[in-house]
Every structure is written in structure tokens, then in C-alpha cells.
Amino acid sequence: MTKSFEEFEVCKKYILLTKLVFELLNSKNFDTEFGFKDQIKRAVVSITNNIAEGSEYNNNRQFIRFLKYAK
């Protein structure tokens, strides 16, 4: 891989998705849903983390594997 993971369009979209999900979950509608909020936040952060981790390998096969995890 010659690119940093931040340069991939898919990562940019997932970062935007993460921000939107965090904004939504911080609304008053979810004040009493502690477990749900925590689980959704961890899941959405995991997507971007998998893309980042996969891009660290200089191997397309490994990168594809981590993209599948993110999916």
C-alpha cells in the first residue's frame, strides 16, 4: 500500500458516518439507552479502525480481509 488510509474515499465516508452517529446518539432521545449507545458507538468506530489496520499491511490480500471486517 502506498496510500495512507485517510486518503481512501471509503475511510472519509466512514469518518463522516462516525461523526453523524455520535451526534445522533448524543441527542436527548437516547439519554436512557446507555447499553445501546455504547454498542453502536463501538461498532461505528470499529469500521474505521478495521480500514486503518488493514491499510498498515503492505499486502492487498490482508487489506481486503480487513475491508470485509469493516463491511
Domain boundaries, the chain: 5-70
4-12 own/partner pairs: CB under 8 Å, 24+ apart: 4/55, 5/51, 5/52, 5/54, 5/55, 5/56, 8/51, 8/55, 10/51, 10/67, 11/48, 11/51, 11/52
pTM, 2 dp? 0.74
At 32, list the grid cell: 436512557
Task: Give the model confidence (pLDDT) of 15-66 as tens digits.
Answer: 899 999 999 998 888 888 888 999 999 999 998 899 888 888 878 899 889 9
Residue among 68, 45, 67, 52 at smallest CA distance from 6: 52
